[in-house]
């Protein structure tokens, strides 16, 4: 059976608020995304850095590695040390010095020196 309604009535579009209802949902999703990104950035800013700048001072640089690999290592220099190593209790502490500080251009990315805690003074630099 065919409908007795006029063709104009069959083609009448159904009006919904779908277009307007999606806008608040999209706006909420974007706002939630921004809050998440800002939250992650805040946590990263407060979290301890994996390495910190330290000031190392010692009076008698001894040891084969220091004398062979870093011939011009001064008695006081700036280095990088891992936060966990700084708070640790091991007898040695690894610190990374630059090639310039070490006096050896072979070490473009620096070199890790393992220094005896008992023979050095460490100071954490504020940066």
User: H or E segment at 29?
Assistant: helix 18-46
Tokens standing for residue 126: 């504020």
For 92-126, the pLDDT digits (tens) are 899 999 999 888 888 889 999 888 888 888 888 76
As a whole-number percent, the residues of the chain with pLDDT over 90 amount to: 13
For 60-83, the pLDDT digits (tens) are 666 666 677 888 888 889 999 998
If you average pLDDT over residues 32-52, what whole number do you get? 75
Predicted TM-score (pTM) of this structure: 0.57
As a whole-number percent, the residues of the chain with pLDDT over 70 amount to: 69
Residue 85 to residues 18, 72, 90, 124, Cα–Cα distance (Å): 58, 25, 8, 12
Residue 115 to residues 8, 40, 70, 78, Cα–Cα distance (Å): 90, 36, 13, 14
pLDDT at 4 over 70: no
pLDDT of 98: 92
If you average pLDDT over residues 48-56, what whole number do you get? 81
pLDDT at 17 over 90: no
pLDDT of 15: 47
């Amino acid at each position: 059976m065919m409908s007795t309604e006029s063709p104009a009535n069959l083609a009448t579009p159904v009006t919904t608020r779908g277009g307007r209802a999606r806008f608040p949902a999209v706006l909420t999703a974007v706002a939630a995304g921004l809050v998440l990104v800002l939250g992650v950035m805040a946590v990263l800013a407060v979290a301890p850095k994996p390495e910190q700048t330290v000031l190392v001072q010692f009076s008698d640089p001894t040891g084969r590695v220091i004398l062979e690999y870093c011939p011009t290592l001064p008695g006081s220099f700036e280095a990088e040390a891992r936060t966990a190593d700084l708070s640790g209790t091991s007898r040695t502490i690894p610190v990374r010095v630059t090639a310039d500080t070490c006096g050896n251009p072979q070490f473009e990315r620096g070199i890790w020196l393992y220094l005896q805690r008992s023979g050095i003074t460490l100071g954490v630099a504020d940066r």
